[in-house]
Amino acid sequence: AFFWLVSLLLSSLIWFIAVKASNPHDEQLQKGLLIFGVMFSVLLQEAFRFLYYKLLRKAIEGLVALSEDGCSPISIQQMAYVAGVGFGLMSGAFSMINLLADALGPGTVGIHGDSQLYFLTSAFMTMVLIFLHTFWGILFFHGCESRRWWEIAAVVVMHLAVSGSTFCNPLYVGSLVPSYLLMAAAAAWAYLLSGGSAQNLRRFLLCK
């Protein structure tokens, strides 16, 4: 969570400087800066995810050196899951804080004919991002461990795609549907990389 907060702070600082140094009355420029800010923030988040992986890798080496049996008490897969949950929960917390701040007013959602589903769809978007960060953590760490750089690239591309789809709003179908499809694909991929199988899933569903 701390690493995600640092990435958010740095990306917010860069975006703030860019906005202050530009013409605030140029709508096209401001929109371009917003897109740049979102894409830069995504890349910075993934860079900090990699830095966090390197830190955890060093920590595991230290734990192995100190342990009596030469084994780490926690696996890199468990750390990947926890790291993904931390990124996701902090991302979701900030999303909800921003929404609640907007909900204080003034104004009424949809009063000018816009969609009244803003808060509902934002809640669904926040949920999908929490799950995606969890799955992305597993995929990213696995890619780093096995040196499959295409897995890392896939995580970055999915993150950029989900973030970029929000620019389709207020056409919420254009952002929610692709995001949930990507979440399903990432969930299945992370499940398989974690050692899951169709047989295990069937046993779980049948409570065997």
pLDDT digit string, tens, across residues 27-65:
888 888 888 888 999 999 999 999 999 988 888 777 767
How does residue 141 score in pLDDT terms, banded at 50, 70 and 90?
very high
Query: Is the confidence at residue 180, as pLDDT, over 90?
Result: yes
Instruction: Please say whether the dihedral angle defined by the alpha carbons of residues 37, 38, 44 and 47, taken in this order, is positive or negative.
Output: negative
CA distance 95 to 29: 25
Please state which of the ranges 10-14, 49-53, 178-182, 195-199 shows the lowest mean pLDDT.
195-199
Instruction: Please say whether the dihedral angle defined by the alpha carbons of residues 14, 19, 21 and 26, taken in this order, is positive or negative.
Output: positive
Average pLDDT over residues 115-131: 87
Domains of the chain: which residue ranges? Answer: 1-197
Please, what is the average pLDDT of the chain? 85
How does residue 113 score in pLDDT terms, banded at 50, 70 and 90?
low
